[in-house]
Amino acid sequence: MMKASEIEQKIKQLADPSKVKILSSFFKTGKGEYGEGDQFIGVTVPMQRALVKSIKTLELSEIQKLLKNPIHECRMTALLFLVEKFKKEKNEEAKAEIYKFYITNYPYINNWDLVDLSAPIIVGGFLLNRPKDDLYIFAKSTNLWLQRIAIVSTLTFIRNGQFDDTLSIAELLLHHRHDLIHKAVGWMLREVGKRDFNCEYAFFTQNGRYKTMPRTMLRYAIEKFPEEMRKNFLIGKI
């Protein structure tokens, strides 16, 4: 069975130093930024996916070692393995174990791409037909990444015609201070609107929510609205 140390070496062999500066800037790794201290070595996600496909499976104990690695691409690869393991698993107890593993190791799921790639499939997939209490705990936490997990996980619910939890969590995060949450909430609201325009419209207009929500959130959410309506939302004339 493949070891985490062997996979780390394979990832490092794929590194492209010319991409490091761009990735470090894009994912805000500077002092005081949300990704402060994250280390990139310049490996693309398609390369990582190909590596995971070639190895096929990895034990949870080895995934955890890889997930604790300071190199961003190692953590991404660990999550790609975990997503594949969850998708292939048929046993509900084993799925619960993967879910528990994921939420226990959330401190290492610490950039937006890591969350977005994994949370809808693992957290959203596991909680789809189960109580959603954990998501509300995450949303009310002070951890940026748990909060993003809370809202982005609901993408799976949306795709299955369930909108209530997305709207409730969006309400909890409506006046969040961070741009990454503004974008995530706006994205999920837009996804609701793609499937039920009236539902999204009602959310915005109830008690004039759209007038006080962050502008980035609003812009993301109404991106697909008819042009005239979108303009009216932005100038507060709905």
pLDDT by 10s per residue, the chain, length 238: 889 999 999 999 999 999 999 999 999 999 999 999 999 999 999 999 999 999 988 999 999 999 999 999 999 999 999 999 999 999 999 999 999 999 999 999 999 999 999 999 999 999 999 999 999 999 999 999 999 999 999 999 999 999 999 999 999 999 999 999 999 999 999 999 999 999 999 999 998 899 999 999 999 999 999 999 999 999 888 7
Q: Pseudo-torsion of CA 29, 31, 34, 38, nearest 10°?
A: 40
Give CA separation, 93 vs 4, 9, 129, 205, 208, in Å: 24, 32, 15, 42, 44
> What does pTM read for this prediction?
0.95
Give SS3 for 214. Answer: coil
* pLDDT score recorded for residue 236: 84
pLDDT at 5: 97
Amino acid 118: pLDDT:
98
Residue 105: phi, psi to the nearest 5?
Answer: -95, 20
- Supply the pLDDT for residue 237: 80
R_g over Cα of the chain = 19
The pLDDT value recorded for residue 1 is 81
- Give the three-state DSSP class for 63: helix
Task: Look at residue 128 in the predicted model and tell me its pLDDT.
Answer: 98
